[in-house]
Structure 1
Amino acid sequence: MPSPWGRERVSLSHGLHFTGGEPFLNFNLLLSAAQMAEELGIPSTFVETNCSWCVNDEVTRERLEQLRRAGLKGIMISVNPFYVEYIPFERTERCIRISLEVFGSNVMIYQMEFYRQFKRLGLQGKVPFERYLALAATVGGNIAVEMFLMGRAARALKPYYHSYPASAFFGEPCQPPFLRDWHNHFDNYGNFMPGFCGGISLGSWRELDRLLREGIDLNEHPVLRHLITEDIRALLDFARDYGYQESPQGYISKCDLCLDLRLHLVKHGNFPELSPLAFYEQMALDANS
């Protein structure tokens, strides 16, 4: 579906966006994907980037102009305290400046609130998260932005949030994001991911027509069955059958609990909906590092 402002414009939950990981790590593949989307007549295409590749003006401009000539309509630039830990803020500013010259109004900064705060703070270079928190406190502390406490974020940010027992998240259904027809993701392993739920697959996007026509056999996908037809309590009870024990430290979000359950289940059973396995392998490595 194109942007409400037209096929040549971009907006967050419309059209097609290329994301990652960092899509510019394989620029030739990204360029080919943009060309293919243009040939297929897909509207409102844009790329999402963390700007790590924007090492100088020449490289930045050349790649953005190549993408525009290939048919890409715009760009979304990620700005938040978790990126600036690893990517000098100067690269982010360079990407924004040159993107505005190349794509005009089809530039989205996500999240603009952090960008404005970073400018007020005069950030330069890389900024460790603890230092960011100290600096932010000098200009009024945290700002109100949406935060998805899932995946690595739930683990890394646990010290900064209150934790709750699993029962605190009972009765919060996952069905709406699982069955929505907008802003879903297709990964490079072939998985059709519901919303932002990394490590969960509704099936193969290579068979998307069949999947949409025939649906999902929930008897063959018990993790999906519990999350779609019931709630997180049902998945917790299911995981207990495989020896799961609730964390005494608690959980900062329903997604934090869900991930912990899935990390346990993937080690004790064969569940095709828990895919790609590389996601869980990396999460386990992160936990042990």
Structure 2
Amino acid sequence: MSAVLDDDAIPARPESSESRTFARGAKDLRDGLASRELWLHLGWQDIKQRYRRSVLGPLWIVIATGVTAIAMGLLYGELFGMDIKVFLPYVALGFIFWNFIQSSILDGAEVFSKNEGLIKQLPAPVSVHVYRVVWRALIIFAHNVVIIVVIFLIFPPPLDWTVLLVIPAIGLYVLNAIWVSIVFGILSTRFRDIGQLLTTVVQLVFFMTPIIWTTSSLGSATGETSSRLKLVELNPMFHYLEIARGPLLGEPVEFYHWAVVLGCTAVGWILGMLVMRNYRARVAYWV
């Protein structure tokens, strides 16, 4: 089909009523995970294709992120009067983890619309394309780990055993990336404006999240400053960054940060399963 069909125009299919179950949605996720050879290959090919015929190849990922993080760290460190030894690792880690979050949202929103031909020609679970996006984001994140290593060699943080908390934090990032790609990816195939809206919202949230600024720059937690800090804590992205960045900086992470992230993850997966149950079978008709 060349045109996007309205719900009323979609012909009734014998499998429609049976496919709209949570069991079918869960089976799609399991089958997609079992097809790991496919999405591992596709995700890696995406990276190779992006940097095809370039001299440095995927190293451009490291260079772009590193230059941006260092430039922003030096600039805003000077503006806020921050100690560069502390502020530069803070900004660099913020950029690296934010890039993973941002790519999960924006690439996830286009995961199905950009793979129209593959979806219609290849009989594979819908979730294969979701895992492909998440795997690609992990590859990019792995490249950016080089930046963390270099910065820590120059400005070693006071690390202890709590640094291991970054492992469950990244695990939660992956779980959230999956449901985000499912929800926004499927809904964006039906309503194409969602992708454009997300681009604007993500840019706005970036400036509202402590990445190139710190909560300590708000001043002491009294009066008006306390109200500003509470507004920052209403931003879920603040908590997502804290659970991953804090352990690597040797800073204690309050339990409520983990609680917020776990709550968002649970709600997100419920929403993701609802979308999978109701609209998974229509993806091929909407792309």
TM-score bucket (shorter structure):
under 0.3
Identify, as 1 or 2, the structure richer in helix: 2
Return the structure number with greater relative CO, CA threshold 8 A, min gap 6.
2
Tell me the TM-score normalized by structure 2.
Answer: 0.22
What TM-score, normalized by structure 1, do the two folds share? 0.22
